[in-house]
Amino acid sequence: MTTHIGKWENDPAIKIPKELLAALHWHEGAELNIYVEGGKIILEPSKCGKTIGELFEDYEGDYVPKEIDWGQPTGDELW
């Protein structure tokens, strides 16, 4: 598969075919890290790049919020 360098606003851009995105389970708007290694451009998902829905997509339990006891104030914080 080949692609070409085009233009996005004033910057060069490379179009990634949707088949590749689907194979990698990447989506439009995903955050990627990009760097050069050994003369190649490397793209990889950012560790922070998941949506809240993706983070919890396999969660099957019920969330029950609990109040946390942080102890007594020790400085100038307001409680």
CA distance 70 to 73: 8
pLDDT of residue 51: 78
CA distance 6 to 13: 5
Domain covering 5-52, topology: Pemi-like Protein 1; Chain: D (2.10.260)
Tokens 């360098």 sit on residue: 5
Taking residues 19-41, what's their average pLDDT? 92
Would you state the structure tokens that stand for residue 20, as one six-digit string? 């590749």
What are 7-19's pLDDT values in tens digits?
999 999 999 999 9
Q: Hey, where are the domains in the chain?
A: 5-52
Q: Per-residue pLDDT for 78 more than 80? A: no
Question: pTM here?
Answer: 0.51
pLDDT of residue 79: 63
The listed range with the strongest mean pLDDT (24-28, 40-44, 61-65) is 40-44
What are 42-62's pLDDT values in tens digits?
999 887 767 788 888 888 888
Cα angle 14, 8, 41; round to 5 = 30
pLDDT of residue 11: 95
